[in-house]
Amino acid sequence: MALDTILTSLLDNLVNVLPIKTVHTYEQGVYFKQGKDVKLLQPGIHLHRPIIDSIETISTVPQTINLPTQSVLTEDGRAVSVSSNLEYEIYDARKVWTKVQDLDDSLHNTGMGYLSRYVRQYPYEELSNTTLRLESKVKRSLNHKVKPWGVKVNEFYVTDFVEAKQYRLFGDPLFK
């Protein structure tokens, strides 16, 4: 093992046991005392007892998630392919660390679920003329769902909406 690799490893581990943690301007932190979350930390320098206590940080600047294309049937039975993205920001790191397992996956799956639910509630013609009402409904529902997680959805955009043809293979379970 090269000396520079050993020194890098030692420095990385030394930082983890120092009693000082910096929460940067673009972050919030959570102070865990003996495994229990006790305090939300704002930017600055914070002291803790290594091994017994810990401080976890997370970025609070707006972030985006691209939701992949999904096929959905509209209210009138027409197949559409729809994709979207959402912008969110964390306003309470304590809730993010304690109320949701994997924030990005949860936002991703919840966003796709609400989008699919609302596409099924409208006829194709209404959706193809404008997606603004759809975007608004999904955003409102997402914000209601993610508020307990310490997150706010700033924007929800339908980025692609087209009528799609569906094909089934003979090996598909529908043909059995």
pLDDT tens, position by position, 161-170: 999 887 766 6
User: What pLDDT, in 10s, does the model give residues 118-149?
Assistant: 999 999 999 988 889 999 999 999 999 999 99
Q: Are 29 and 90 in contact (CB under 8 A)?
A: no
**What are 36's two structure tokens?**
């229990």
Q: Is the pLDDT of residue 174 over 60?
A: no
Q: Are 99 and 58 in contact (CB under 8 A)?
A: no
Strand 27-33 vs strand 53-59: parallel, antiparallel, or unpaired? antiparallel
pTM of the model: 0.80
Residue 131 vs residue 89, higher pLDDT: 89
Report angle CA 142, 145, 146 to the nearest 5 degrees.
85
C-alpha 4/C-alpha 106 separation (Å) is: 39
Q: HSE-up of 165 (CA within 13 Å, CB side)?
A: 1
C-alpha 130/C-alpha 82 separation (Å) is: 13
DSSP 50: T
What residue ranges define each of the domains in the chain, with the CATH number in brackets?
A: 3-59 (no CATH), 63-163 (3.30.479.30)
The one-letter amino acid at 130? T
Q: Is the pLDDT of residue 12 over 70?
A: no
Which range has the worst mean pLDDT, 14-23, 57-66, 75-84? 14-23
Q: Helix or strand or coil: residue 143?
A: helix
